[in-house]
Amino acid sequence: MKNETLSSRTRTVALAVGMLAAVAAGAAAADLNPEWLARLPVGASLTAGLQGMVVDAAGVSYVTGISGSSSNTDITTAAYAPDGTLLWSRVWDGPFSWHDQSRGIALGPGGLVYVTGNTPGPGSYARVVVLAYDGATGTLVKSFEYTSGPGISEHGQSVAVDAAGGIYVAGGTVGDGGDALVLAFEANGQLRWQRTWDGPAGGPYTQDSALEVLIDPSGDPVVLIHGVMASLHPDYVVIKYAAATGLTKWQATWGVSGGDYPRDMEIDAQGDVYVTGIGIDFQDKFSTIKLDGSDGSLLWQAYDWTGYHNGVAGLALDGQGGVYVTGSVDPDGDESNLNDNIYTVKRDAQGGALLWTHLYGANCLGCYDFSGDVIVDAAGHAFVAGVTNSPPYGMDAILLVLDAATGLETDRGIITGGAIESAWSRELRFDAAFNLLVGGEISNVNTGQVDISVAKYASLGGGGIPCADAAWFTAVCVSRPGTDNRLNIRLRLTDAGHSGDQVTVTVDGTPHVSTINGAGASIVVKGVAPGVHAVELTEPAGCFPAAEPICPASGPPLGVR
Ligand SMILES: [Ca+2]
Ligand SMILES: [Ca+2]
Ligand SMILES: [Ca+2]
Ligand SMILES: [Ca+2]
C-alpha cells in the first residue's frame, strides 16, 4: 500500500499540523498501546520503505522492503521474534549492484520466506527475481531470476507458495505495451509454466499488469490483473489457472466503460473471490465484487462512497460472513486542502448488503487521514490502520478498533515518531493467537530517512486454534492395581501447524495447560477421585462436548487395565 506521492505531500504539511495539534490538546487519548515497536533503517532513497509483511503462526514477523541509496537500491528482508527482537536482517544487492526492488512476500512450507521483485539484467532491463530465506536463520536458501528474453523489462509484484512448495509469481512484462505476467515454478526454481495476458486496447493504452496472486482452496492460483479494455479504460480482470498446467480455468472481467482500477483481492474458504478497487459510477467509488470460485461468474457488485475522490486501500474477510473495505475519501472534492478521511464499510458476504459504515477524521486544512489496511479477528474486532493528521494527532500512525457487529469505534492505538517524524501504518497481519502485527514506516521529515516499522498489539481475543484444526478429543480414566486413578486426556489435531501452541483443559473446573507437540497434546492428571468427572477442552473452546470419564472406587484386580 505504497504511495510515494502522498507520503511526500504529508511531509510538506507537517509543521502546520503540529501547530494545530497544540491548539487542540485534550482531545481523546489513545488507549491501546503496542507491546513493542521495532524500527529497521532502510535509507533515504525515493523508493525506500515497506513492500510487504507476513506473520507465521508462532508470531514471527517477516518484512521486506527497498533499501540502499537512490543510485543502488537493494532488497532488505528481516524477521522479528514474537517479543520484538530482531532475529535477522538481510540485504540483497543484485549482480549488477543497481536498482533491486522487492514488491511481494509470502510464507512457504519448510519455514521458508519468499520475496519477489525485480533486478537488472544485462542491458539494464529488469528481470523477475525470487529469493527464499530460511525463516529461522535468515540464510538465503535459493534465489533465481526469470527473463522472457533480451530487451524486455519484467517484474514480480506478488508471490504465493502452495503446500507442496510450488511458487507462483504475478507481475508484469512488455509485450503489446505492458502485459500481465504469471509464472509458476517448481520448489527448486525450475519454471513449470509461464502465461501472459494482454488486453484488447491498442496503441499506447494497452498497459496491463498483474497485481496479486493467491492460491485458492483447491490449490490453483488466482491472479488479479489491471487490464485495459477496448474502451481504453482499465477493468478488473481475474483469472484462475490450473496449478499443474497453467491452463485457464476461467477468466472474469468487470467494469464499466470508465476506468475501474483493481486494488486488493481475497478468497474465502469456499474458493469464492472478492475484489475491491476504484470504479467509476458517475464518480470514483470503492467498487467491490464477489465472483463464484467455480466459474468466475459475478455474484454481486457494490459501490461505496462518501464525499469525493474515494480511494480504496484494502479488503478483508472475517470468515463469518462479513466483507470489509477501507480507503480514503475527500470530504469536499478539493485535493489541495489535504483533508481526506478514513472510510470503512462492512458488507454481507452472501448478498453484498451494506451492514455499516465508519468515517474517521477532521475536515480542517491539512487534517490529512489516510487508510492503509483492514483486518478482522475472530472475536469481533475490525482493525483499520493508516495515518492521521486530525487533532490532536500530527503525522501519527493510527489503529482504529471497530466493533465488527456495529462499526462503532471501541478502541484506538496511536504510534508517534519523534518530533520531526511521520509514522504511517500500511499492513495488518495476525499470528495464530490473533495478536496483531502492524507493518509501516517512520520517516524523518527533514532528512527523508525511512525506517520500516513493526508494532505488536496484544490479542483482543478470539485467538488460538480453530475447531476445524481439531480432529478428536478424548479423556479416559486409567486405574492400575496399587496405584491411583489417572485421567489420560488427549487432543489430536489435523496437522502439526499448531505445534508449540498451548491448549487448556478443565477437569471438574480446574484448568490444566498443555503444549502441542507435533499434531497432538496430552495431559495426565494423577490422583483422581472415584466417580464421574467433567473434562472439557476450553482453549480452543466449543469444539467438542465435555468428556465424562468414570473412575472406579478401587483399582481393578491384577491383570486388568
Ligand atoms: Ca542494488
Ligand atoms: Ca498490453
Ligand atoms: Ca479535500
Ligand atoms: Ca481528515
**What string of DSSP letters covers 268-331?**
-TT--EEEEEEEEESEEEEEEEEE-TTT--EEEEEEE-SSEEEEEEEEEE-SSSEEEEEEEEES
27-39: burial string, b at 16+ Cβ within 10 Å, e else: eeebebebeebbe
Residue range 304-319: mean pLDDT, rounded: 93
Diameter of the chain measured on Cα atoms:
91
Q: How confident is the model at residue 467 (pLDDT cuts 50, 70, 90)?
A: confident
Expressed in angstroms and rounded, the spacing between residue 129 Cα and the centre of ligand 1 is 12
> How many whole angstroms from 194 Cα to the centroid of ligand 3?
44
Residue 550 Cα to ligand 3 middle (Å): 70
> Distance (Å, rounded) from C-alpha 382 to C-alpha 367?
23
Per-residue pLDDT band at 463 (split at 50, 70, 90): low
Determine the distance separating the centroid of ligand 2 and the alpha carbon of 254, expressed in angstroms. 17
* Whether pLDDT at 515 is above 80: yes
538 C-alpha to center of ligand 1: Å?
51
CA 68 to ligand 3 center in whole angstroms: 34
| Contact predicate 95/122, CB 8 Å | no
Confidence of residue 25 (pLDDT cuts 50, 70, 90): very low
Report how far ligand 2's centroid is from the alpha carbon of 269 (Å).
32
**Alpha-carbon dihedral 263, 268, 272, 274, rounded to 10 degrees:** -20
Confidence of residue 554 (pLDDT cuts 50, 70, 90): low
- Average pLDDT score, the chain: 91
Q: Cα-flanking dihedrals φ and ψ of residue 84, to 5°?
A: 90, 0
From 508, 518, 514, select the one nearest 549 (Cα to Cα). 508
Q: How far, in Å, is the centroid of ligand 2 from the Cα of 179?
A: 4
What's the pLDDT band for 464 if we cut at 50, 70, 90? low
With cut-offs at 50, 70 and 90, classify the pLDDT of residue 6: very low
The number of the ligand nearest the C-alpha atom of 232 reads: 2
Ligand closest to the CA atom of residue 202: 2
Ranges assigned E (strand) in 34-146? 36-41, 49-55, 61-69, 72-80, 86-92, 101-108, 112-120, 126-134, 140-146
Residue 19, pLDDT above cutoff 50: no
pTM greater than 0.85: no
CA dist 292 and 248 (Å) reads 15
User: Which structural domains are found in the chain, ordered by start?
Assistant: 467-551 (2.60.40)
Quote the ligand 1 centre to 101 CA distance (angstroms): 8
Tell me which ligand sits closest to the C-alpha of residue 10. 4
Q: Which ligand has the shortest distance to the CA of 68? A: 1
Which ligand is closest in space to the CA of residue 328? 4
Predicted local confidence at residue 5, as pLDDT:
38
* Separation of alpha carbons 510 and 500, rounded Å: 22
The closest alpha carbon to 73, from 31, 43, 103, belongs to 43
Distance from Cα 94 to the centre of ligand 1, integer Å: 5
Q: Which ligand is nearest to the CA of 330?
A: 3
Among the bound ligands, name the one nearest to the CA of residue 307. 3
Any idea which ligand is nearest the CA of 369?
4
Cell of 348: 454481507
Tell me, in angstroms, the distance from the centre of ligand 2 to residue 119's CA.
22
Q: How much distance in Å is there from the Cα of 278 to the middle of ligand 4?
A: 20
Q: What is the pLDDT of residue 27?
A: 37
CA of 334 to the centre of ligand 3 (A): 4
Instruction: Among the bound ligands, name the one nearest to the CA of residue 361.
Output: 4
Ligand closest to CA 70: 1
Centre of ligand 1 to C-alpha 128, Å, is 14
Spacing, Cα 175 to ligand 2 middle (Å): 6
Q: How far is the CA of 368 from the centre of ligand 4 (A)?
A: 4
Question: What is the pLDDT averaged over residues 340-349?
Answer: 98
Tell me 229's DSSP state: -
Task: Give distance in angstroms: CA of 392 to centre of ligand 2.
Answer: 47
Sign of the CA dihedral running 355, 360, 366, 370:
negative
Q: Please, what is the end-to-end C-alpha distance for the chain in angstroms? A: 62
On the question of pLDDT at 23 being above 70, the answer is no
Mind listing the pLDDT tens digit for each residue in 125-168?
A: 999 999 999 999 999 999 999 999 999 999 999 999 999 999 99
- Ligand 2 centre to CA of 228 (Å) is 7
